[in-house]
Amino acid sequence: MSLKSIEEIVGLQGYSVTEMSITPQEVSLQLTKTTASYCCPTCRQTTFAGYDSTVRTIEDLPLGDKRLFLTLPIVRLSCPTCHTVQTEALPFLAPYQRHTKRFLQYIHRLCTIHGDGERRGGVDGLTLDHGAAD
């Protein structure tokens, strides 16, 4: 399968897949940003003033029976509007999370309280509510 096909399946706008590795348990994708603009999490203004970056690995929805991990750069930006240095806001990732929003929403649906009042899945609801609420 081509990297372009994987990009379409994963569907993270603003990123392209540069490398893919597959093991029996997981698929790992290396992503790079396709634009040089960033969104300030405070004022939501777009800026081109990247301060520095770090690499973060996050988990996304599984591909078949394999866990999917995305490794991507997270940029700290210097916002000219609100004059702060902060980590860029990403539409698919809640602040400080190591799982995509859609992954957290999926787990939240699996763990919702059923009619019998029993909580399913054994995952901490506070963790799920923090990232899945968006």
CA distance 15 to 29: 11
Residue 85 and residue 63 share a domain: yes
What residue ranges of the chain have pLDDT lower than 70?
Answer: 1, 113-134
| pLDDT reported for residue 26 | 95
Residue 80 and residue 23 share a domain: yes
| pLDDT reported for residue 68 | 94
Residue 100 and residue 87 share a domain: no
| pLDDT reported for residue 58 | 94
| pLDDT reported for residue 78 | 85
The pTM score is 0.76
Work out how many domains the chain is built from and give that number: 2
Gyration radius of the chain's alpha carbons? 17
Residue 14 and residue 76 share a domain: yes
| pLDDT reported for residue 115 | 44
| pLDDT reported for residue 108 | 85
Domain housing 14: 1-91
| pLDDT reported for residue 57 | 95
Residue 101 and residue 70 share a domain: no
Residue 83 and residue 99 share a domain: no
